[in-house]
Amino acid sequence: MSTATTNPSAAEPASGRKAPAGERVADWADGRLGIYGLAKANMRKIFPDHWSFMLGEVCLYSFIIIILTGVYLTLFFQPSMGEIVYHGPYEPMQGIRMSEAYASTLKISFEVRGGLLVRQIHHWAALIFLAGMFVHMMRVFFTGAFRKPREINWMFGFLLFVLGMFTGFTGYSLPDDLLSGTGVRFTQGAILSVPIVGTYISMFLFGGEFPGHDFVARFYSIHILLLPGIMLGLLVAHLILVFYHKHTQFAGPGRTNKNVVGMPLLPVYMAKAGGFFFLVFGVIAAIAAIATINPIWAIGPYRVDQVSTGAQPDWYMGFAEGLVRVMPGWEINLWGHTLVLGVFIPLVAFGLVLGAIAMYPFIESWVTGDKREHHILDRPRNAPTRTAFGAAWITAYFVGLIGGGNDLWATHFHLSINAITWFVRIFFFLGPVIVFIVTKRICLGLQRRDRDKVLHGRESGLIKRLPHGEFVEVHEPLSPGQLHTLTAHEQYRPVELGPEVDENGVKRKISPVQKLRAKLSKGYYGEGNQIPKATPEEYKEISEGHGHH
Amino acid sequence: MSSQQIPEDNLPVVQETAHGAVERSDDPFADPGLPAHQPRIQDLDERAAKRSERAVALMFTLSMLATVGFIASYVIFPVDKIVYIWPFGHVSALNFSLGLTLGAALFFIGAGAVHWARTLMSDVEVAAERHPIEATPEVKAQVMADFAAGAEESAIGRRKLIRNTMFGALALVPLSGVVLLRDLGPLPEKKLRKTLWAEGKQLINMNTMKPLRPEHITVGSLAFAMPEGLDPEAHDFQTQMGKAALMLVRIEPDDIKDKRQRDWAHEGIVAFSKVCTHVGCPISLYEQQTHHVLCPCHQSTFDLSDGARVIFGPAGHPLPQLRIGVNSEGNLEALGDFDEPVGAAFWERG
């Protein structure tokens, strides 16, 4: 490539021996795609190993499964709200009016061989995809894997999570059954609550008044093309960045911020990750064989004047549902206009709660002022404030989820729905505070334990009687590797604002932003908010001074 | 994020230890380097390795058999065959067999590959160096110089007229796309304020599809009605029902606390919109002793004996009442449309 002279063909070396077919194909591709350069950088790329790193893989594989099964479903599904009278093989629906969307979903379930299986794999995989993203996001959060240089990848992942929620919602609304139709009605009511533009958005989205004849076809194109298209792009970008940044790893002997220790992509990760795809797919297929999901034939077609009790969205929408259910019905009527706070505030709160976790990496990096790259993961205990914040966020999320199923909680546990509503109203605010405090204390306790372990060794469980009669437990000293692992984490010092007056006695200007930051920094790293880790001096004093107990 | 003013020495000190080598031997916490590789039984004993090989091959074979089973199930089981399988109950034989054989065919490929990787492929850990993501100052300087040269050659900074008109054109052109969205739907106008109900329209019983008469509605029962002339097979039936759905109950006139409500009722028969004022679900649960109705979606509860005011839940205002009477044939009829919009509240509702 570098010279204009003819390159002797790589496929036919001077000896005249013909290269193997595979090599010749690779040569052909390399001449056009430059694959050898790519392979050199990536074929033996090192990936560190930890069980929690597979959570992201679950998401990737369930996404692929969703696409494969989704394409199959489009071959049979009719995205139409045209009404027909059912005359198919499913007896209970004989002679009932329904949309073509619902009828074709019945057809997929009862007439297409394997159609029910693919439908159920599709829906189960969607639930697992969302659950996987949630847990993967928590893994990244609690270990601090979102820190520089990975903040943008955190945002990509967050967008995938949010888009996944809406892809799921538009997907389960497609069969036009009574349950999902009720969910769409709710969505329309929530859209109406948006000040000024709400009625316009509703009219434009539904092509007129609810339900109209358009939303299934429109949701269909959003569900199968627009959102998954964007998600596919984000997913590829997410993976490229994972490769480019190289994976994070936990601290340990030989593992530093400047290396990555693990096993090569070819063959170990190829086999493990490739095999894991089949494991995930196999498990989801088995679940779809034995566990019915969304039995739309038992629910019936959507009728705007009918509803069933115990209506629930899919789990990932339950948090938003809960906020809507427990909110007091505030409405403000002024100057001929209505501000529907009872619905609009939950709508905004939903966005804010999600936004809080999305913005967290930027808040933390602002508080620490740390501009370095971080490739070594934190153990959650070693970042008590972050861990406490994450636990508090999960608490708010799950309290909302309880509110979303308040009717089911009431009927299944014989509780008063008023009591549940008030519980959610109070604990949506109070719960995160309590959990924040408790989590932080647990983290500090674990830090103290690590410190004791480093200084005094591991409790062996052996009781020894000393010559003068005292009983003591024998502590075994830790290995150098363990000592290093338990002391490898960094501890920040809080930001100091400095003296209030400068050397000339003139009052320094300290902006409120700087003060806020100093306060936050103290809350993160000040006294009592982290336990100083054992120092080599302390260790030496104890181990050389009076030996081990 | 302004964070320039943090002094470097506030950041924790990174323990600089070269991989594998202990530089500061006096530091008891120094990185001892990668631990030595622990051989597996398969690394030492060829018979154990053979056993692993057979296990992997067995799993791949099971996968093949499962795929054969999948195809056999597809051919053997009719799509409508229901069988009882403990503990799952009555299940579709086809769905059950296809799912489990497909699941097994996939799972055993995965299990085989993972077992292969764990027992037979090298498990020696390797360290690879990381390189900073940030460019070196030289690279950055080169890029900045290139960019400056490019910008200079385009003269975008000097020829402001070009720059500004280009920005203008680029800002305006997406408007075409926005304008194209206009025909997604009609403007709201008064659509959400009007329903099919009008003076003289008879109330049609949703169950019998016949006009409702006062004697059809007994104390304690809940009846649903739609306006006369609405055909369930009509193109816009769902859209019209979404606003016009009506529910009727009979309450002893003395038990009705609200005077206007009593005036708008007929002999204690009151008609309210069935569409919840929260987000529009149809209300369907009636507590006959207390005259409370409950929306099953979000549990908004309305007291039908007191102007359908909200007594619990997230709804923000009472259900609109329809004024009803009896026509010359003795059938119930509407005496006009609802006097306020039905269903969820919205900005223009007022």
| Measured distance CA(A147)–CA(A154) in Å, rounded | 9
- Class of the domain covering B192-334: mainly beta
Query: What ranges do the domains of chain B cover?
Result: 41-119, 137-183, 192-334
Query: What ranges do the domains of chain A cover?
Result: 46-250+265-303+313-378
- Residue A219, CA atoms < 13 Å, CB-side half-sphere: 27
| CA distances in angstroms from B84 to A115, A500, B14, listed in the order given | 20, 80, 64
The confidence band for B16, taking pLDDT boundaries of 50, 70 and 90, is very low
Cβ contact, residue pair A331, B345, below 8 Å: yes
Helix or strand (DSSP H, E) at B339: none
The confidence band for B240, taking pLDDT boundaries of 50, 70 and 90, is very high
- To test the contact with chain A by mutation, choose from B38, B71, B107, B235 the residue with the greatest count of A C-beta atoms within 10 A, namely B107
Neighbours of B210 (CB within 10 A): 11
Q: Which candidate from A46, A288, A328 shows the least CB-CB separation from B314?
A: A328
| Measured distance CA(A413)–CA(A148) in Å, rounded | 46
> Is residue B285 less than 8 Å (CB to CB) from chain A?
yes
Instruction: State yes or no: pLDDT of B305 exceeds 80.
Output: yes
Q: How far is A304 from chain B (nearest CA, A)?
A: 5
User: What dihedral do alpha carbons A212, A217, A220, A221 form, nearest 10°?
Assistant: -120
Q: Searching chain B, which residue's CA lies closest to the CA of residue A330? A: B316
Under a CB-based contact definition with an 8 Å cutoff, are residues A390 and A361 in contact?
A: no
- To test the contact with chain B by mutation, choose from A304, A326, A330, A492 the residue with the greatest count of B C-beta atoms within 10 A, namely A304
| Measured distance CA(A281)–CA(B121) in Å, rounded | 24
β-bridge mates for residue A339, sequence order: A332
A 344-403 near B (Cβ less than 8 A): 362, 365-366, 368-373, 375
Cβ contact, residue pair A188, B279, below 8 Å: yes
Is the N-terminal amide bond of A8 cis, ω within 30° of 0? no
Vertex B281: Cα angle to B275 and A317 (nearest 5): 155
| CA distances in angstroms from A290 to A120, A213, B94, listed in the order given | 10, 35, 11
| Measured distance CA(B219)–CA(B288) in Å, rounded | 8
**How high is the pLDDT of residue B8?**
53
Please state the pTM of the whole predicted model. 0.91
| Measured distance CA(B75)–CA(B79) in Å, rounded | 10
Q: Which long-range contacts (CB under 8 A, 24 or more apart) does A467-475 make?
A: A472/A549, A473/A549, A474/A548, A474/A549, A475/A548, A475/A549
Comparing CA positions, the residue from A352, A354, A350, A294 lying closest to residue A321 is: A350
* b/e per residue A337-355 (b: at least 16 CB within 10 A): ebbbbbbbbbbebbeebbe
B118 residue type, one letter:
R
- The CATH code belonging to domain A46-250+265-303+313-378 is 1.20.810.10
Helix or strand (DSSP H, E) at A210: none
pLDDT per residue rounded down to tens, chain A (549 residues): 444 444 544 444 555 678 899 999 999 999 999 999 999 989 999 999 999 999 999 999 999 999 999 999 999 999 999 999 999 999 999 999 999 999 999 999 999 999 999 999 999 999 999 999 999 999 999 999 999 999 999 999 999 999 999 999 999 999 999 999 999 999 999 999 999 999 999 999 999 999 999 999 999 999 999 999 999 999 999 999 999 999 999 999 999 999 999 999 999 999 999 999 999 999 999 999 999 999 999 999 999 988 888 788 888 888 899 999 999 989 998 988 999 999 999 999 999 999 999 999 999 999 998 999 999 999 999 999 999 999 999 999 999 999 988 888 988 999 988 889 999 999 999 999 999 999 999 999 999 999 999 999 998 889 999 999 999 888 898 999 999 999 999 999 888 887 777 778 788 788 888 889 999 999 899 888 999 999 988 888 887 765 444
> Is residue A265 less than 8 Å (CB to CB) from chain B?
no
Q: Tokens in use for B305? A: 């004996």
Cβ contact, residue pair A342, B278, below 8 Å: yes
> 3-class DSSP state for residue A309?
coil
* DSSP state at residue B206: T
Q: Tokens in use for B328? A: 């010359």
Bin B20: left if φ > 0, else alpha if -120 < ψ < 50, else beta: left
Is the N-terminal amide bond of A195 cis, ω within 30° of 0? no
E strands present in chain B: 82-85, 89-92, 126-129, 203-205, 222-227, 246-250, 269-273, 285-287, 292-294, 301-303, 309-312, 321-322, 324-326, 332-334
